[in-house]
Amino acid sequence: MSIVERDLPPASSPRPTFDRPALIRRADVTRHVWGDAASGEVFDWIYVSSERVHALVFGLAPGCEFRHSEAYRTVFAADEVLHVLEGTLVIADPQNGEVQRVPAGGSVFFRRDTWHHAFALGPEPLRVLELFAPPPAAGASSAYAREQPYLERSRYADDGLVGRWPSGAPLARRLQVLRDDDVVWRRDLDVLVGILISTEHLTVGTLELGPGEAARAHDHGGDEVLMALAEPLWVRAWHDGAVHVFELFPEDACYLPAGTRHEYRNAGGATARAIFGIAPSYLP
């Protein structure tokens, strides 16, 4: 990228939308480069950006990072879950000095008005699924960020804990790393569902289907983005009199509009795993 290109005004992120159930292959996802010389640049694979939910994968090369700049600010009016697909994420709240380390397979959650920076730790590239609601279409991303007071100074440590940890309370804890004990398990679909977070704006959870298992047909009160994580997963959906059948391989996704009747199936011989984001409501 040339110096002239770096001086261009920020380009808006693409917003791929669908008016029916859709299969989104990793190879076909909309690409975008976010950031500038001051913030650092990040590679985006944008899967869905509907009126209700926003889902993308962002990537950083080993040792790289994104912070923020005047043009690219990282504070939004949305609930967010970041799920690490590859590499190790170090995420920081530069306003309060909180830093968390999230390995591959782990997730971190934060609510609106949380400034955040990300660093790729170790020799592997970093790839992170980001689930975000309310979405940019609701004015919750860059338009909102430009209206907020600019964070002039970034902190990456809480010095108040030095000499008094673990007895002292942290100054702030806005970045919630989601542990196994935080998962709320359900068998409401006749398969194993693990709810990672559920707010008034966004529910994020995981699916596990053993060989031959099928989830019963159901629907949700929000738009759903489902990404396969391990082994092929079949999705069948009924929408406006048509039947849609998708086979998802790892990092393929499907989009299901709110109210769409659908089911998940594992036709293979190993456990299939997936992660989903539904906004605004998981329940019908």
**Quick check: 244 pLDDT over 50?**
yes
pLDDT digits (tens, 9 = 90+) for 166-211: 887 766 689 999 999 999 999 999 999 999 999 999 999 999 999 9
Answer yes or no: are the C-beta atoms of 60 and 66 closer than 8 Å: yes
pLDDT for residue 79: 98
> What local confidence, expressed as pLDDT, does residue 167 receive?
80
User: For the segment 101-131, what is each residue's pLDDT rounded down to a tens digit?
Assistant: 999 999 999 999 999 999 999 999 999 999 9
97: left (phi over 0), alpha (psi -120 to 50) or beta: left
Architecture of the CATH domain 180-279: Sandwich (2.60)
Q: Measured in Å, how far apart are the chain's first and last C-alpha atoms?
A: 47
DSSP string, 169-208: PPS----EEE-GGG-EEE-TTSSEEEEEEE-SS-EEEEEE
Comparison of pLDDT for 164 and 40, the residue scoring more: 40
So what's the pLDDT on residue 5?
A: 44
Question: Looking only at Cα atoms, what is the longest distance across the chain?
Answer: 65
Domain 3-177 has CATH 1.10.275.10: no
* CA nearest to 105, candidates 90, 85, 123: 85
pTM: 0.94
pLDDT in tens, 9-60: 576 789 999 999 999 999 999 999 999 999 999 999 999 999 999 999 999 9
pLDDT of residue 173: 85
Distance, in Å, from the CA atom of 228 to the CA atom of 219, rounded to the nearest integer, reads: 19
Task: Give burial (CB, 10 Å; 0-12/13-18/19+) of 142.
Answer: middle
Distance, CA of 107 to CA of 205 (rounded, Å): 11
Domain with CATH 2.60.120.10 in the chain: 3-177, 180-279
